[in-house]
């Protein structure tokens, strides 16, 4: 049994119990749609594993509302991200706003956000969760959402800026990608009655995971098999996105290469030859190799942090998940 088949059926089963079969259908049907539309459920899985690491089996079931909360928040961010990015598809299917329109998509995101906190409210009447834990869960999720918004705002600022560097990019993905992973794990630790030190370690694990995951995603856009990745090679290059690879290449390039990268990154349309030239510069400057090393270093940081926890099936499962993410090629 792999890590996903072990936990995801529980998450999906509980998601189906959320009352999204209400009126008006124009609001609730898109909510059901986005939650059924694929996704690996990594964030709620992390919440369950964080609970298990700190509180063993009995904590995992107790962590389900927290796990559902982070999955609902994740989907809330996706719906609103797609509006901002004018993305017509999500996970290979029409995005909510392209199928139902922007006003409905905004409401869907708002409802998902609200239902997330309805899930957390279930702990208010749970006598096995202390008031301190209840408060900590609320604070952690609110802080995560705030940091995600800050990261998204930075990402939007980058579009019109020529002063972005790898340090700023890392700060952006600490918010946009890492914050909810970090929050997911630490919320599990809170439900599992973990110590302050354990919860802090889980928070750091999530942060390093997010950094590794996003930079790896940038890398796969260039090096992955397009058929497996589901995208054309160099899709980020074609769209003019400021990825970790592009920013690092600027830092590693000579003046001639910098001018060429600047020219190509400013063009509205890139041919296949243009994209191949950018990738050539990535290879010539060692950008691809150094990015691979950066991703490996972040994953190793996570594994080192995991040594802080006692051995358990949940620790083993989290390491299995990390190895799956590290070795993914799509």
pLDDT score recorded for residue 37: 83
- C-alpha distance from residue 16 to each of 12, 13, 32 (Å): 6, 5, 8
pLDDT score recorded for residue 229: 61
Residues 223-273 pLDDT 10s = 987 766 666 789 999 988 999 999 999 999 999 999 999 999 988 889 999
Domain count, the chain: 1
How many beta carbons lie within 10 A of that of residue 181, not counting itself? 25
Are 47 and 65 spatial neighbours (Cβ–Cβ below 8 Å)? no
Q: Is 90 helix (H, G, I), strand (E, B) or coil?
A: strand
HSE-up (13 A, CA, CB side) for residue 75: 31
Residues 95-148 pLDDT 10s = 999 999 999 999 999 999 999 999 999 998 888 899 999 999 999 999 999 999
- Mean of the per-residue pLDDT values of the chain: 94
pLDDT value at 330 more than 80: no
Q: What is the domain range of residue 162?
A: 3-326
What CATH number is attached to the domain comprising 282?
1.10.600.10
pTM: 0.94
Q: Percent of the chain having pLDDT more than 70? A: 98
Residues 48-64 pLDDT 10s = 999 999 999 999 999 99
């Amino acid at each position: 049994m792999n890590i996903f088949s072990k936990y995801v059926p529980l998450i999906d089963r509980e998601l189906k119990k959320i009352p999204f079969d209400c009126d008006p259908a124009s609001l609730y049907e898109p909510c059901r749609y986005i939650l059924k539309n694929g996704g690996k459920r990594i964030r709620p899985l992390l919440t369950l594993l964080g609970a298990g690491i700190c509180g063993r089996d009995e904590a995992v079931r107790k962590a389900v509302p927290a796990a559902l909360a982070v999955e609902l928040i994740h989907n809330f961010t996706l719906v609103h991200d797609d509006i901002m990015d004018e993305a017509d598809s999500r996970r290979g299917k029409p995005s909510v706003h392209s199928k139902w329109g922007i006003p409905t998509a905004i409401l869907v995101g708002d409802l998902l956000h609200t239902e997330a906190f309805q899930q957390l409210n279930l702990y208010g009447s749970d006598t096995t969760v202390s008031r301190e834990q209840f408060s900590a869960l609320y604070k952690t999720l609110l802080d995560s959402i705030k940091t995600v918004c800050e990261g998204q705002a930075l990402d939007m600022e980058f579009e019109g800026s020529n002063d972005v560097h790898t340090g700023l990019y890392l700060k952006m993905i600490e918010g946009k990608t890492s914050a909810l992973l970090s929050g997911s794990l630490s919320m599990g630790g809170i439900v599992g009655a973990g110590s302050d030190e354990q919860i802090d370690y889980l928070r750091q694990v999530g942060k390093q995971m997010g950094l590794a995951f996003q930079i790896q995603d940038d890398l796969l856009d260039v090096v992955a098999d397009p058929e497996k990745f589901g995208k054309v090679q160099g899709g980020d290059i074609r769209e003019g996105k400021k990825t970790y690879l592009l920013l690092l290449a600027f830092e590693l390039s000579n003046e001639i290469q910098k001018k060429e990268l600047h020219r190509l990154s400013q063009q509205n349309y890139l041919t296949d030859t243009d994209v191949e030239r950018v990738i050539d510069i990535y290879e010539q400057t060692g950008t691809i190799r150094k990015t691979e090393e950066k991703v490996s270093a972040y994953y190793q940081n996570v594994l080192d942090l995991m040594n802080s926890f006692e051995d358990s099936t949940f620790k083993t499962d989290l390491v299995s998940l990390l190895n799956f993410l590290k070795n993914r090629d799509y």
